[in-house]
Amino acid sequence: MKKQSIGVGLIGLGVVAGAVARVLLDKAKVLAEQVDCPIVLRKVKVLEQDLTRPQALEMDSQLFTTDEDEFFAEPEIDIIVEAIGNENPALEYLKRAISSGKHVVTSNKEVIAKHGAELLALAQQHKVGLRYEASVGGGIPLVAPFQYDLVANNISGIYAIINGTTNYILTRMAKDGMDFFLARNRAQQLGYAEANPENDIEGIDAAYKLAILASLAFHSQVRPEDVYCEGISRLDSRDFQYAREFGFAIKLLAIAKQSDNLIETRVHPVFIPEDSLLAKIDDVYNAILVEGDLVGKVLFIGEGAGALPSSSAIVADIVSAAQDIAFGAGSGVRWKLQPGKVIKPMSDIETRYYLRMNVADRSGVLAQISKVLGDHLISISSVLQKMVDSVSQTAEIVIMTHPAKEAAMQQALEEVTRLPVVNEISNFIRVEE
């Protein structure tokens, strides 16, 4: 029997959920055409304090409930949308929704990154869909392309700028010569960074998103703790200056590679060639480069966050779930795990390195450093000697290496630090070409 309407229940009424509610109301006609059936917002589970938000005041107050049992008991709801973020109570809500046979849409990267496999299994058991397009890259189509368009590809690599806050900060440091703290404050003033931006700055947000993308791309469960993670707070404006001198830009990249059933996933600042497209992705834009054996390189670019782009992805998921309900589709298996894949230890990766160190300003220093590097089979491709300080008799040495193993580099750095002529290793940054 054809349904009269498809009901949506919304959990949360923050800016994203508010935008979703508005789209469902304002675009009801065009959305109904896509499904041949009206999609109706039936209930919104809110907290007491949500009721005074601007987005609440413009909606019918009958829609709201602060009682979760009342919300989950609403019989007219077919699809539950969770947009409250954070792990708890979102995870419990999603499990409860799925277990009661509702299709589920979420924008929650933390829950999907940590519990995606478990939730997917639960959804398959209950024959409902679990959709999370908005969890990565805002409105940029990513989850669906992996599940559908790129399905015939063996994906070898993902190189992604997937955190707008850090990309904004790095853009200001690179273009305006700001130092990290000034750029971070600017990002906070503009609302691009939260009051406590640690999750963004330290790469944790990007690691969640990379875990989601890598799991999809490699048909394997990549957990957040499988992602090696370094943030951007130790970058100095001088690093940007030297990067330019070597022909590079600095970006916080989320990198996932797969070869011979070994999966490598890491988030850290990298030098990338300044004429690459990724180097030109500025401000809060996101970009995701995917390499597949058939498709070659494809690159997706767009705004990675914000209420409207996120609502674009969430409503697309709602429409897709509604189509499955209206057209009687089963719950498509679109993420089939392939066993036998292993996470590569960080110590086994191989890249070029940029090293910046403060040394004594005297002859023979470079020879001592190159000797240590050479002992670990690391060879130098170029060197800059900078900023001689005649008072303290120190100088800055900047080194670009040829490709080397991470384990060898870590050991070499430890030994270099112990050289009496080396005052400190100010920074080291990996290179991705």
Residues that bind a second copy in the complex, under the rule CB under 8 A: 19, 23, 27, 30-31, 33-36, 133, 138-141, 144-145, 148-153, 219, 277, 280, 292-303, 306, 308-309, 311-313, 315-316, 319-320, 323-324, 327-334, 336, 338
Question: Please, is 421 exposed, middle or buried when counting C-beta atoms within 10 Å of its C-beta (0-12, 13-18, 19+)?
Answer: middle
Q: What is the 3-state secondary structure (H, E, C) of 39-81?
A: EEEEEEECCHHHHHCHHHHCCCHHHEECCHHHHHHCCCCCEEE
- The span from the CA of 120 to the CA of 128, in Å, is 9
**Residue 356 pairs with which residues in a beta bridge?**
398, 427
Shortest Å, Cβ 81 to a second copy: 13
Residue 329 or 388 having the CB closest to a second copy: 329
Nearest to 79 by CA among 335, 333, 331, 337: 331
Residue 78 or 361 having the CB closest to a second copy: 78
Give start and end residues of each alpha helix (H) in 89-163: 90-99, 109-125, 143-144
- The phi-psi region of residue 296 (left if phi > 0; otherwise alpha if psi is between -120 and 50; otherwise beta) is left
Total Cβ atoms within 10 A of residue 47? 12
Residue 66 or 323 having the CB closest to a second copy: 323
Token couple for 370: 């190159």
Token couple for 183: 């750029």
Total Cβ atoms within 10 A of residue 139? 22
CA 71 to chain centre: 31
Please report where in the chains the tokens 């850290």 appear, as a residue.
Answer: 268
Shortest Å, Cβ 219 to a second copy: 8
Shortest Å, Cβ 353 to a second copy: 28
- The span from the CA of 122 to the CA of 125, in Å, is 5
Catalytic, 209? Answer: yes
Residue 36 or 70 having the CB closest to a second copy: 36
Residue 27 or 95 having the CB closest to a second copy: 27
Residue 178 or 321 having the CB closest to a second copy: 321
- The span from the CA of 173 to the CA of 186, in Å, is 11
Identify the helix (H) or strand (E) that includes residue 372: helix 365-375
Coil, helix or strand for 384? Answer: strand
CA 374 to chain centre: 36
Choosing from 43, 114, 209, 257, which is the catalytic residue?
Answer: 209
Cβ-count burial 208-239 (b if 16+ within 10 Å, e if not): bbbbbbbbbbbbbbbbbebbbbbbbeebeebb
Residue 232 or 305 having the CB closest to a second copy: 305
For 220, phi and psi rounded to 5 degrees? -150, 155
- The span from the CA of 363 to the CA of 249, in Å, is 31
- The span from the CA of 398 to the CA of 242, in Å, is 8
Coil, helix or strand for 321? Answer: helix
Residue 297 or 362 having the CB closest to a second copy: 297
| Residues carrying an active site annotation | 209
